[in-house]
Homo-oligomer: A and B are copies of this chain.
Amino acid sequence: MPSPNNSVGIVTPQHVRFDAPLPLRGGATLNGFELVYESYGTLNADKSNAILICHALSGTHHVAGVYSEQDKKPGWWDNMVGPGKPIDTERFFVLGVNNIGGCHGSTGPKSLNPQTGQPYGASFPVVTVDDWVQTQLMLADYLGIERFAAVVGGSLGGMQELQWSITHPRRVANALVIAAAPKLTAQNIAFNDVARQAILTDPDFHGGDYYQHGVVPRRGLRLARMLGHITYLSDDAMGSKFGRILRSGAFGFGFDVEFEIESYLRYQGDKFAESFDANTYLLMTKALDYFDPTHHHQCSLSEALKPATADFLVVSFTTDWRFAPERSREIVKALLDNNRQLSYAEITSSHGHDAFLMVDEYYHGVVRAYLERIPL
């Protein structure tokens, strides 16, 4: 029942529980877990039209559609996923899943640990991109999907796609790696560590067990998000949107909000601190830091990507300085070293890293054309 604006319409999250113990890359074991996911479109008879969307740091399983007629806020990639949209739900069965360690329904730090009846909190183990891929694989098995028509991800989601293609090449026909990087640089890690330190040193963090204290480390999470936002936007985009514009038109010579950019960042920080879980933020940034498929290959990305047999579409954005086009080019080069089928698009955009979430005619056209060529 697509709505007039090509939305997938009203959607309902689904839950699945896996009871077997899950050994994690970090050495710990999770005694069973739950995944929350959404799907859009219809799985065809031979289950060959499924596309998995992997989310980024603060993303969720809620990729497209709304939860009610009144819901003003559609899923985070609603401009990309829907009937007639680049990821076309009239052809594909599209799957969004919240990763474990998350805070939107899949088992994570704020979930109750069945063994204690208390939230996991600090006891929730560190999870990695490998672990997420493993749980996504279990979901695919549960749904009977032998091979994804495509696995798609932007930013940290793109890293999950890379891991899918390396670990389970036979289960990925096409790989869309958007605004990603093969691994973080020292500067990327540095920004993550400042964000983590903001949370870890917030007196309301209580070593990660703030749930029991009836507080949340709001200050730390707010700072983390403000900082994150600076890295998601380009200097240019910030300049044209906010420049040096003053809220009141004159300097206040104090420490209240003065520049529009301050107002914007503080608002984004406050909003995020209301809704996101600080322990999840810590876990997501760690997963980013740890991701490095070259780690066991003498830093050679070509060696690391040797098992990846999917057909690739790699996309980068010119003003993205978090994961600059150079980082995507590393992936492209490594794939070329392995003589893989690939397409690469470097999209001219002023929107920085966030461009992967925005509407851009060329970008959407490339994704659409790439997916349209997949025979079903």
Contacts and interface: CB of A to CB of B under 8 A. Distances in A.
Interface of A: 25-28, 125-126, 183-187, 189-191, 193-194, 196-198, 200-203, 219, 222-223, 226-227, 229-230, 233, 235, 238-239, 241-244, 251, 253-255, 258-259, 261-262, 265-266, 269, 282, 286, 289-290, 292
B227 A227 contact: yes
Contacts of A222: 197, 201
A230 B197 contact: no
A102 B201 CA distance: 26
A193 B27 contact: no
Contacts of A197: 222-223, 226, 266, 269
A261 B194 contact: no
Q: Among A241, A243, A255, which residue has the most Cβ atoms of chain B within 10 A? A: A255
A258 B197 CA distance: 13
B230 A190 contact: yes
Secondary structure class of chain A's binding surface, majority of residues: helix
Contacts of A189: 244, 259, 261-262
B125 A226 contact: no
Minimum-distance CB pairs A-B, first 7: A26-B253, A186-B238, A126-B253, A186-B242, A186-B261, A187-B235, A201-B219
A26 B189 CA distance: 39
Copies per assembly: 2
Contacts of A201: 219, 222-223
Contact of A198 (B28, B191, B198, B229): B198
A243 B186 contact: yes
Contact of A238 (B190, B258, B286): B190
Given A219-B201, A253-B126, A244 B193 contact: no
A259 B238 CA distance: 30
A252 to B, nearest CB: 9
Contacts of A243: 185-186
Given A194-B223, A230-B194, A185 B251 contact: no
A223 B198 contact: yes
22 contacts: A26-B251, A126-B254, A186-B235, A186-B242, A186-B244, A187-B235, A189-B244, A189-B262, A190-B230, A190-B238, A190-B261, A191-B230, A193-B261, A194-B230, A196-B255, A197-B222, A197-B266, A201-B222, A201-B223, A203-B203, A251-B290, A255-B286
